[in-house]
Amino acid sequence: MNKIILILSFFFVTLLYKSTMGDVNYFKYRELNEQAITLKAENNLYLDKIELIKAEIKNLQTGLNVIEEKARNELGLIKQKETFYQILE
């Protein structure tokens, strides 16, 4: 019985040492977990900013199309290397 308690105590001390002082210990796990949570929150913040920028780009592109259409219809402007044909009825 004494040998079993000694062997189990040895394994318990070894396990305790590995979980607190080893390369993959509990404290390192907690630190890395907190870093991962922080990075995920930061990533979500950047994803929101990316979505706003994409929406702004889309608005600018459609705005440029509207401006170009108005310039063509109301002012009769054309692009370089384009030929404008006006049909008179």
Question: Which residues, other chains included, contact 84 with Cβ-Cβ below 8 Å and sequence gap of 6+?
Answer: 76, 78
**DSSP assignments along 50-89, one per residue:** HHHHHHHHHHHHHHHHHHHHHHHHHH----TT--------
Average pLDDT, stretch 7-23?
85
Query: Which tens digit of pLDDT belongs to each residue from 51-84?
Result: 999 988 888 888 777 788 777 777 777 888 888 7
What global pTM score does this model have? 0.47
Q: What's the rounded Cα separation, in Å, for the pair 15 and 4?
A: 16
Write down the mean pLDDT value for the chain: 85
User: In the Cβ-directed half-sphere of 71, how many Cα atoms lie within 13 Å?
Assistant: 9
Domain positions in the chain are 23-77
46 has pLDDT over 90: yes
Q: What does the pLDDT read at residue 17?
A: 83
